[in-house]
Chain A
Amino acid sequence: MAARPSGAKKDKAADAPAPTMDSLLATKEIVVACGPGGVGKTTTAAASALMAAINHGSKVLVLTVDPAKRLANALGLDGIGNTEHKVPASAFEAAGVRPRGELWAAMLDTKESWDSLIRQHAPDEQTRDEILANPLYQNIAGRFIQSHDYIAMERLYEIHSAGEYDLIVVDTPPTRNALDFLDAPERLADFFSSRLLRWLIVPYRSKLINVATKPFYQISDRILGTEFMGDISEFFILFQTMYDGFVERSKAVGRLLSDRRTTFVVVSTLEATPLREAEFFAEQLTERKLHLGAIVLNKVLPDYLQGRDGAKVAETLKDRAEDLAAELSPVLGSADTELGDPAQIARVLTEVADSYLNFQVVALCEMEERASLAVVPDVLATVPFFDTDIYDLAGLLRLGEQIWG
């Protein structure tokens, strides 16, 4: 919630107003929400996009990877597929807001995105059809884990270069390593230009003659079988025809990510493990000269759990449960009614106090984690724990208002 300038920039920033999520979303064209799994990346991305659409009068797209079903429905995304949908006016009305701009939403369909990429880069129809029908291709497009990371960034590039939106907020896929998607464009380029790939597309017979590469083929052949090696060769010979287009494209995707118009929002909770991962991620962004716009801390327990006074009250409730219950009994009813039963009141007081003390331990750990945050971004937003799920625009709005600051 509180925006504060980073320590290093304090003097310089003294005159200028401190940046907020509001100003960040107003000035950037691409916002990439990233961070460890299970911290609310998707809802944070959607809530940010919603706030921008409501307040800035701009045309905003939220590109999500795998939204919860109810949230997808709320955004008008009921099927899979890459199509961009406009969030209907009725959804805004139900949430009681009138947007100045427009909110659009799209989901990422990995397979469809790969297919469209192939269609775009294949030199001719025959090559295109052969690649699309190749079992190895289907395996790569559908199952290849890295392909997920690459294709998300590729889609982002495609949408951005179409120039349809003022702001695109993208939610990143759950990767094994939060950084995978950053490296994906470069890795794909590397793969296409690797010596290995060049060996592979050498006609099979000449492979066995070359002294340097012979051991490699012997091992591969014995493990995978000559026939499969042949399939692989064939596939990569086909793929090679698209080399230039792919490499150029992946470099462009890389440039877009480091463009000044792009910013990254790292999302986390204040639990130790996700927070360490988020911190590492934020450090890596800075190291790669990518723009760390904000850190959003989700599901933070309320402040009232941290106070010493609260703990003292809880201790008193426990210690004096019985005599307090005796005093309260006539206020709530009488000793022989259900509400007035002193034993029951004492039990409730004890439960309430224990619960407070339990949650206080967690809240204090969170406070400690926040204080020791190694990376201090320009914008640090704290979102309280919501006791119910977020599944509609009204819920996103509650979340968005907290992020907005």
Chain B
Amino acid sequence: MATDPMTPLLDRKLVFVTGKGGTGKTTVASALALLAAAQGKRVLICEVDGKGELAGYYEAPPMAFKEKEVQPGLFAMTMDTEASLREYLKLQLHIPIVGRIGPVAKAFDFLAAAAPGVREILTVGKLCFEVRDNKWDMVVVDAPATGHIVGQLAAPQAVNGLVRVGLIRNQTDWMLEMLSDPAITGLLAVCTPEEMPVSETIELATRVREETTVELAGVVVNRVLPELFGRNEEAVFDALAAPGPLEELDGLIGGDAGPVLEAARLAVTMRRTRSTHLERLREGIDPDVPLLYLPYLFTKSHGLRTTRQVAGSLGEELGL
């Protein structure tokens, strides 16, 4: 398997995007979907466990379980496991009492509260159905954060282990097949070059390999600071920031250059601290897994404008 080249990210049909809180998981998911749509694909993006933020990334009105077009060729929906159960019962099982909402809602409450893995199965199941239906070239999932994604992706096995017969059991087999096929499904992990996000990503990579059948398709390193100086330039900077030359500079411009040089010093140290974490990430992740670097955006940080900028950088990293 190691000798096979990995399926390129945009050629996969089902991509789960995860990441530690605060690393920009939703930003990357929304940008990836936008990029794929710009490539002429018909794309569905689904927010799972979201707080309704995804809509803002496309300047779109609040989203629902039923998908809506938010950009040309790009449709967005938000996961609702109860609606997913109802749809499943109706389309797949032809359960006669559908229509009477009461029992369904109660059954759902019970299933979700008491039977582990069922909520996750209804989520993964809905996404797999969307892929199987061939309505989309790509389904992008703004998935749960790193702490919860493994439970989500491992749900079909967990349910297989607990439930030996029944309709759910019949469904998990083909879902597993789809999730296990690296030509179809992939996981994209988002992190920033900081201590905890890098540690969590390395740990995630191990858990995904050991506990799920899904392939880690790539790691996005978000908010990478630009390199300010080449080696010689840094020596010049250090000389410039020494008391004598700095005074000279202050005199030349008739102002205080101190804060400006101080800010550059901060930027250099920040980048240096971060680069040690980047090295740790590169060493901790399977060398076949591509790392995609996205620059720190020094602009206002939300809305479609940002999504477009990130999509642009992501496209460059993917060689488009």
B-contacting residues of A (Cβ < 8 Å)?
36-39, 68-70, 135-136, 139-140, 143-145, 174, 176-177, 191, 194, 196-197, 200, 215-216, 218-228, 231-232, 236, 269, 271-274, 277, 302, 304-305, 307, 309-310, 312-314, 316-317, 320, 324, 327-328, 331-333, 338-339, 341, 344-345, 347-349, 351-353, 355-356, 358-359, 361-362, 365, 385, 387-389, 391
Contact = CB atoms under 8 A, between A and B. Distances in A.
Contacts of A333: 239
Nearest to B244: A331
B97 A355 contact: no
B240 A358 contact: no
Nearest to A303: B259
B91 interface: no
B309 interface: no
A144 B301 CA distance: 34
Interface string B170-204: 00000000000000000000000011110100000
B237 interface: yes
A220 B107 contact: yes
A376 B118 CA distance: 42
A351 B269 contact: no
Contacts of B145: 37, 174, 176
B236 A344 contact: yes
B260 A310 contact: yes
A345 B240 contact: yes
B60 interface: no
Contacts, number: 227
Contacts of A344: 232-233, 236
Contact of A225 (B93, B164, B298): B164
B209 interface: no
Nearest to B109: A196
B260 A220 contact: no
Contact of A352 (B166, B197, B261): B261
B308 interface: no
Interface centre among A36, A144, A196, A216 (most CB of B within 10 A): A216
B263 interface: yes
22 contacts: A37-B21, A38-B20, A68-B195, A143-B117, A196-B110, A197-B114, A220-B110, A225-B166, A228-B162, A271-B301, A272-B301, A272-B302, A302-B266, A313-B253, A313-B256, A317-B260, A320-B253, A348-B236, A351-B229, A358-B298, A359-B298, A387-B266
Nearest to B301: A272
- Secondary structure at the B interface, as helix, strand, loop or mixed, is helix
Given A38-B23, A176-B144, A344-B236, A365 B229 contact: no
B273 A387 contact: yes
B263 A219 contact: no
Interface of B: 20-23, 49, 51, 53, 89, 93, 95, 97, 100, 103-104, 106-107, 109-111, 113-118, 144-145, 147-148, 151, 158, 161-169, 194-197, 199, 226, 228-229, 232-233, 235-237, 239-240, 244-245, 248-249, 252-253, 255-257, 259-264, 266-267, 269-270, 273, 298-302
Interface centre among B237, B259, B299 (most CB of A within 10 A): B259
B168 A224 contact: yes
B244 to A, nearest CB: 7
A183 to B, nearest CB: 14
Contacts of B118: 224
B116 A328 contact: no
A372 to B, nearest CB: 14
B110 A216 contact: yes
B97 A387 contact: no
A389 B273 contact: yes
Contacts of B89: 219
Contacts of A216: 103, 106-107, 110
B21 A36 contact: yes
Contact of A313 (B97, B151, B255, B300): B255
A341 to B, nearest CB: 8
A136 B22 contact: no
A273 B30 CA distance: 15
A55 B245 CA distance: 43
Nearest to B168: A223
A273 B263 CA distance: 25
B196 A38 contact: yes
A38 B115 contact: no
A334 B255 CA distance: 25
Contacts of A221: 166
Interface centre among A140, A191, A228 (most CB of B within 10 A): A228
Interface centre among A273, A307, A352 (most CB of B within 10 A): A352
A71 to B, nearest CB: 9
B114 A348 contact: no
Contacts of B165: 225-228
Contact of B269 (A224, A348, A387): A387
A196 B106 CA distance: 8
B116 A219 contact: no
B273 A305 contact: no
Given A227-B164, A362-B298, A365-B301, A391 B260 contact: no
Contacts of A332: 236, 239-240, 245
A218 B97 contact: yes
Nearest to A236: B114
A302 B162 CA distance: 54
B228 A316 contact: no
Given A69-B199, A351-B229, A228 B158 contact: no
Interface centre among B168, B249, B257 (most CB of A within 10 A): B257
Nearest to A197: B114
Nearest to B200: A66
